[in-house]
Structure 1
Amino acid sequence: MNPEQLDFKAVAGGIEDRVILPAGYKADVLYAKGDPLFSGLADFKNDGTDVDYDSRSGDEHDGMHFFGMDSSGKYDPESSDRGILVLNHENLEDATLHETPTAKEDAIAANNLQELKKIVDREMNGHGVSCVEIRKDNGKWSVVLDSPYNRRLTVFTEMDMRGPVAGEDFVKTKLTPTGTTRYGTMNNCANGYTPWGTYLAAEENWYAYFQVGNVDNLSEKHRGWLARYGIEGAGWSYRQWDRVPGDQYKRFGVGTSGATALEDFRHEPNLHGYVTEVDPFRPTQKPRVRTGFGRFSHEGAWVAPVQEGAPIVIYTGDDSRREYMYKFVSKAAWSEADRNGGLSAGDKYLDEGTLYVAVFNDDGTGAWKALSTANMDLAGTHSYDDNGTVYQYNFASDAEVLASARLAADVVGATPMDRPEWATVHPNTGDVYLTLTNGNSSNRPSTDLDGANPRAVNSNGHIIRWREEAGDHAATSFEWDIFLFGSSADASSDYNVSGLTADNEFSSPDGLFIDPRGVIWIQTDDGSSGIRGKTNNQMLVAIPGEVGDGESVTVTTSDGNGQESIQTFVGGNAEAVQLKRFLVGPNGCEITGISMTADARSLFINIQHPGEGGSEEDFNRNVSTWPATSGDATAFGEADNRPRSATIVIYREDGGEIAI
């Protein structure tokens, strides 16, 4: 059962360069960009000259999970004072990572390849995943330096390809001629974790790192794959890594310069865009790329509660406007004997199964469509129109379906959503919640609305939820409603459908977590709406009800070119679920990543890119200098300090459970 009451006073919105919490709560900085994993490393200078990010924290902390550990070093989800914290480093803050904002451009202009390699190595090692042992002593958490569990996974780390795509011709390259290995993981956003004690890192905007050159010798089908995934020309996050000599760098330049695929990197993008499984407790084992989840911009991978004899079900969204929501259902049925099974258990459950994509019907029902060659809707030849350039393609195998999952989802009629980001499964009701962060009129005009995405110019986003038929997560049908709509408190009731007030107005919901007690935590990534002008990004808390506890409503919406009235289904309003603001972050940051110890007395979250939006010339210091060097997350940063992404740990000063 859910708790009945939240026990804290909502904090007011604010624009301050510190973490704001309710009275009686504290937050410590635990693991910040540049912090070492091993003793003997030079102190982090934070002046853009540090080079050893393969041995210290990377940049832009994002999705995260705390794995409790017992005294023998095994996974123990009930342990609340020792464990391994595993977290993603999504991207880079270029203005603070390098010595000067133009360091890379200057090295390229001077043709200084030695300096360019140093800069690119810093960037490639600044991405990836951290595994770091942490312990709680006398009420305070700290990193255990030199722990055998400490390690960094970066864009250089060798990984095993697994599942249907592994070994296929279309993933073979000059650097990976067998198609069974891959190097690195990048742009990992949200995450997941398994009941067998492993971490799931999800690659999101991986496609933007590539420069596409001459691909005349690539098949029409595979040129269509590049187009559907936005891999054309130089991506918006293209980092010019391919300018450095050596195959580890040249692979980011996509072209058909060789006589065959084994002589160039035409297939390199096909190796990326999956979910990577990491075993925190067996650091010598290479991570495994699970291709059965499909290839797209994975926001995360959330495992539904497991039941003996039932398949493993994992939900994963494609974080881009007008993309889709998916789930993977394993072929193998869960056995409790596989607890603590590590990557071997992952081989059993994650390499064989069926990928589905969601269709949300306007009547409050939905269906999951199978993405496999067994689905006859995928038979034959299809076409993809990329702004007037039409590509013909077919699905020759299940491996091709998975590697071009977006195209397969197009064919079966999946519902385009307003940026599917984090999901979470209620541990008691089984209801699945999904943040739809936002939309705009170019992607969702008033003439193209539906019940699940009922607002044009949906700059504030909403949270949708569903219940699988008969509570079976492997079912192929469900019913849905909208849990909450983001809005400014002073917006009209046609837009502020959930009745938000000054204590809980929010925009662009992103991070999402329902803790074991049934409390839901909502984190925001609000970059431009009116809410951002009132408060920095924030984290809110509520006690959710259940799918179907609200009513049918009509939402009237306009994009300036037309007005539409759309019927949809909503849950109880903000007052009914006790929604209120728990935390406000420092200037320019995003609030993301969340995990809680089993005793509900320590809450880990990430403060990502404080200072974003500041001037590159002064390294964003005109916006933020957070975090304070004292380690107190609620204090203001010191002058001339470059802002850093960081993991913080929140706790009650009286030692009690958080929020209730």
Structure 2
Amino acid sequence: MKHIAWSILTASFLMACADQSATNEDTIETEATATDSVVPQDVVETIPLDSLFEEVDSSYSHSTLLVPEGLTIQILFRESLDTVVRADGMKAPAKGSHDMLTFLADEDDPNKGWLYVSHETKYRDDILGDGGGATMFQVEKDSLGNWNRISDFKHVDFTTVSNTQRNCGGTLGPNGMIYTCEESQPMGNGALTRKGKGHQNPHKVGNLEYWQNFGYVVEVDPTTFKATQKMISWGRFYHEDVEFMDDNKTVYLTDDHEPGIFFKFVADVPGEYAEGQLYAFRRSEEGTAGTWIAMPRDTASLLKIRDVAIDSGATMYMRHEWFERVGNKIYITETGHDEEDWAEYLAKGANVGAALEQYMEGTVAHDVHGRILVFDIETNHMSTHLEGGFSSDSSKIFSNPDNITSVSFGGKDYLLICEDLNGTDKGRIPAYADKKGVYYTEMYLLDLSIANPTVDDLFRFAVGPNRAELSGAMMSPDKSTLFFNVMHPIYSNGAPYNRSLTVAVSGWEIK
């Protein structure tokens, strides 16, 4: 999900849907229309995006995953239908709600690697562990450019940290550990046990009550398939994503809450992230820059750190989701929320993000579509990069951005943005589609060389199946394949798009 390069040297593709069913590790291949010749690099750099692809159309009547014709869809990992194996040999159907993806490259073979898939789940599972989770499996690219699974689906053991809950975003850290976010901050055991449908046998975890053990970033050792620790010093809140800096000390953290706070953690010792100083961001009054407020380091404060930050005058945002760093800039998806009254927080001295000021009615924030923010790590400047809403001809409705990554081709950097709709009313989908009870989230490309982009500049690259969310997008290290997850589609879509999936999209020519 972090910064990756995507080189496409194909002269043209037409867009179409992959409308046939597939089984695990089957391929769905559309008719290729690319030319056989390789375009010289100096020509590629001048080729506009719409000459490489035609945009996918939002039909509001499909049940499949729509991608460019000529590309190949492989289904690598399926909720329920695939079997996950524990270290002791016990087996169980795979969990669903596939969200974060991480690719761990093989040091000796560039055509091999491990995929890590998180599960944003919260239910009872006697074999794979209650609540959230993760699965890992090894893949290898064959001579045709397809990625094939070559290992069992390995269970990632979170019982070592007394379970986890709703594993969402995250990343591979510079120390080789995986950091997975718990998008959950339960306020009591009842929110976890769910009347017998969730966690079983709540117990104290050290000095913490069971419910206080959730709401953190969790460190996982991918070589042992086990969680190693919960990052208590990073604070307890609705963690969505993390972004490591090159100094091996600084980590930026998003808070998927309304209000949410923008946090930064700085480790005491480079490469050792368990202990350090947590900060909350406060923008300047004119909104052009900001400062970092040091947070208390005691556990009692860290357990309610959002409240502490608000009491300290931090800036409130409307649900920060995923990060993507390009150079010294971090792009942040602020997904929005329809309506929240922040009177009590504003009375304590907190302020609101500059982008939200136009949507405030007194103390009530209305933020239907959300936006993409950009933060400069050198100047602490936070501004709006792209505001959500409608294109000038209403052919695009960009709402509630969530997962984000970056790709580069044709000599340009692009953001790859996935939607996750907060609702279907208020113009987020056409009225006729809302009436039919169908909705689709879209994957867009945005040229980062555009100084002040609008929704008109978005390029629709893919559309998910009915009621699915696309997430975890990332490229393979060799830039040949885009991996991503299809989360929680509805069952009536029919196989294979009636359950959560991990897919690989490949087939373009690369250097």
- TM-score band, normalised by the shorter chain? 0.7 to 0.9
Distance 2:130 2:193 in 1: 16
Checking the alignment, whether the CA contact within 8 Å between 1:65 and 1:594 is kept in structure 2 is: no
> Which of 244, 250, 259 is matched with 1:322 structurally?
259
CA deviation string 1:264-312 (max 9, x = no partner): 99711222211111121344x54222222111110111223x1xxx343
Residue identity matched to 1:650: V
CA drift at 1:84: 0.8
Checking the alignment, whether the CA contact within 8 Å between 2:184 and 2:214 is kept in structure 1 is: no
Instruction: Tell me the residue number matched to 1:170.
Output: none
* 1:20 alignment partner, SS class: strand
CA drift at 1:364: 3.4
Checking the alignment, whether the CA contact within 8 Å between 2:85 and 2:155 is kept in structure 1 is: no
Checking the alignment, whether the CA contact within 8 Å between 1:299 and 1:421 is kept in structure 2 is: yes
* 2:103 alignment partner, SS class: strand
Alignment of 1:39-188 (within 5 A): 52-53=91-92, 56-71=93-108, 79=110, 81-91=111-121, 121=126, 124-125=129-130, 127-137=132-142, 138-146=144-152, 150-153=153-156, 157-159=158-160, 182-188=161-167
Structure 1 238/525 Cα, relative in aligned 2: closer, same or farther at 3 Å?
A: farther
Checking the alignment, whether the CA contact within 8 Å between 1:21 and 1:583 is kept in structure 2 is: yes
Distance 1:431 1:140 in 2: 34
Alignment of 1:344-493 (within 5 A): 348-373=271-296, 398-426=298-326, 429-443=327-341, 451-453=354-356, 454-456=358-360, 457-469=366-378, 478-489=380-391
CA drift at 1:607: 0.4
Distance 1:355 1:572 in 2: 33
CA drift at 1:23: 2.8
* 1:408 alignment partner, SS class: helix
Q: Which runs of 5+ in 2 are unaligned?
A: 7-44, 361-365, 434-438
Does residue 1:573 correspond to 2:454, yes or no?
Answer: yes
CA drift at 1:440: 1.9
Checking the alignment, whether the CA contact within 8 Å between 2:252 and 2:264 is kept in structure 1 is: yes
Instruction: Tell me the residue number matched to 1:292.
Output: 233
Residue identity matched to 1:239: R
Residue identity matched to 2:115: L
CA deviation string 1:560-587 (max 9, x = no partner): xxxxxxxxxxx33345xx4200000001
> Which of 483, 494, 498 is matched with 1:625 structurally?
494
Does residue 1:275 correspond to 2:212, yes or no?
Answer: no
* 1:531 alignment partner, SS class: coil
CA deviation string 1:424-465 (max 9, x = no partner): 111xx32111111122233479x9965231335321111111
* 2:108 alignment partner, SS class: coil
CA deviation string 1:508-531 (max 9, x = no partner): 101111236632110011132433
Instruction: Tell me the residue number matched to 1:24.
Output: 70
Residue identity matched to 1:480: M
Instruction: Tell me the residue number matched to 1:380.
Output: none
Q: Which runs of 5+ in 1 are unaligned?
A: 43-50, 73-78, 95-118, 160-181, 212-234, 253-260, 334-347, 374-396, 470-476, 490-498, 550-570, 612-619, 628-636, 638-642
Q: What number of residue pairs does the alignment pair up?
A: 438
CA deviation string 1:197-217 (max 9, x = no partner): 221110012517831xxxxxx
Checking the alignment, whether the CA contact within 8 Å between 2:316 and 2:353 is kept in structure 1 is: no
* 1:401 alignment partner, SS class: helix
CA drift at 1:240: 2.2
Structure 1 26/405 Cα, relative in aligned 2: closer, same or farther at 3 Å?
A: same
Superposition TM-score, scaled by structure 2 size: 0.77
Does residue 1:532 correspond to 2:413, yes or no?
Answer: no
Checking the alignment, whether the CA contact within 8 Å between 1:465 and 1:481 is kept in structure 2 is: yes
Checking the alignment, whether the CA contact within 8 Å between 1:251 and 1:265 is kept in structure 2 is: no
Distance 1:70 1:311 in 2: 21
> Which of 167, 170, 174 is matched with 1:195 structurally?
174
CA deviation string 1:466-517 (max 9, x = no partner): 1123xxxxxxx5112211111133xxxxxxxxx5752x43211011112366
CA drift at 1:242: 8.3
CA deviation string 1:313-345 (max 9, x = no partner): 222111111111112122234xxxxxxxxxxxx
Checking the alignment, whether the CA contact within 8 Å between 2:216 and 2:230 is kept in structure 1 is: yes
Residue identity matched to 2:229: R
* 1:70 alignment partner, SS class: coil
Cα RMSD of the aligned pairs, angstroms, is: 3.2
Distance 1:38 1:268 in 2: 27
> Which of 65, 83, 88 is matched with 1:36 structurally?
83
* 1:418 alignment partner, SS class: coil
Distance 1:83 1:124 in 2: 25
CA deviation string 1:340-372 (max 9, x = no partner): xxxxxxxx4211222111123352323243333
Instruction: Tell me the residue number matched to 1:649.
Output: 504
Structure 1 484/201 Cα, relative in aligned 2: closer, same or farther at 3 Å?
A: same
CA deviation string 1:380-423 (max 9, x = no partner): xxxxxxxxxxxxxxxxx533332221122112111111111111
Distance 2:120 2:505 in 1: 22
Residue identity matched to 1:240: K
> Which of 404, 411, 414 is matched with 1:519 structurally?
414
* 1:9 alignment partner, SS class: coil
Residue identity matched to 2:120: E
Distance 2:70 2:187 in 1: 43
Instruction: Tell me the residue number matched to 1:103.
Output: none
Distance 1:362 1:539 in 2: 35
CA drift at 1:123: 8.3
Checking the alignment, whether the CA contact within 8 Å between 1:29 and 1:648 is kept in structure 2 is: yes
Superposition TM-score, scaled by structure 1 size: 0.61
* 1:463 alignment partner, SS class: strand
Checking the alignment, whether the CA contact within 8 Å between 2:387 and 2:454 is kept in structure 1 is: no
Distance 1:69 1:123 in 2: 26
CA deviation string 1:176-218 (max 9, x = no partner): xxxxxx311110111111123221110012517831xxxxxxx
Residue identity matched to 1:68: A
Structure 1 508/313 Cα, relative in aligned 2: closer, same or farther at 3 Å?
A: same
> Which of 581, 585, 598 is matched with 2:477 structurally?
598
Distance 1:144 1:206 in 2: 37
Instruction: Tell me the residue number matched to 1:230.
Output: none
